[in-house]
Amino acid sequence: MSKLWVSEIFYSVQGEGIHLGKPAIFLRLSGCNLRCVWCDTKYALDMKSGKCMSLNEVLSEIQRYPAKHIVVTGGEPLLQQLALIPLLKELKKLNFFIELETNGSIEPVSNLVKLVDQFNVSPKLSNAGLPKPVLAKSIYHVLASKCKAYFKFVVISPSDLLEIDDYVTKYYLPRNKVILMPQAMTSEEHNKRLLFIIEHAKNRGYRVTPRLQIIVYGGGIRGV
Ligand code: SF4
Ligand 1 centre and the CA of 223: distance in Å? 17
* C-alpha closest to that of 76 among 38, 115, 109, 107: 107
**Is the Cα dihedral 127, 129, 131, 134 positive or negative?**
negative
Give, in degrees to the nearest 5, the angle at Cα 67 between 66 and 72.
130
Instruction: For ligand 1, say whether the CB of 101 is within 6 Å of any of its atoms.
Output: no
* Contact partners, residue 148, CB within 8 Å, separation at least 6: 113, 116, 117, 118, 119
- Which of 73, 76, 80 for a ligand 1 pocket mutation test, highest count of atoms within 8 Å of Cβ? 76
Q: What is the pTM of this model?
A: 0.93
For 98-138, write each residue's pLDDT tens digit.
Answer: 999 999 889 899 899 999 999 999 999 999 999 766 666 66
User: 55-62 vs 81-93: helix axis angle to the nearest 10?
Assistant: 50
Nearest CA to ligand 1 atom 2: 75
- Measured CA to CA, the distance from residue 72 to residue 100 in angstroms comes to 5
Average confidence score pLDDT of the chain: 92
DSSP count for the chain of H helices, then E strands? 7, 9
Task: Count other C-beta atoms under 10 Å from residue 223's C-beta.
Answer: 11
Instruction: For ligand 1, say whether the CB of 74 is within 6 Å of any of its atoms.
Output: yes
| R_g of the chain computed on alpha carbons | 17
- Measured CA to CA, the distance from residue 215 to residue 224 in angstroms comes to 11
> What domains sit in the chain, N to C, each tagged with a CATH number?
3-154 (3.20.20.70)
Per-residue pLDDT averaged across 1-26, rounded?
95
Confidence of residue 219 (pLDDT cuts 50, 70, 90): confident
For 153-204, write each residue's pLDDT tens digit.
Answer: 999 999 999 999 998 998 888 899 999 999 999 999 999 999 999 999 999 9
CB 5 within 8 A of CB 52: yes
Position 133 scores a pLDDT of: 62
Instruction: For ligand 1, say whether the CB of 30 is within 6 Å of any of its atoms.
Output: no
142 vs 54: which has the higher pLDDT: 54
- Which of 16, 32, 37 for a ligand 1 pocket mutation test, highest count of atoms within 8 Å of Cβ? 32
For 58-94, write each residue's pLDDT tens digit.
Answer: 999 999 999 999 999 999 999 999 999 999 999 999 9
Confidence of residue 7 (pLDDT cuts 50, 70, 90): very high
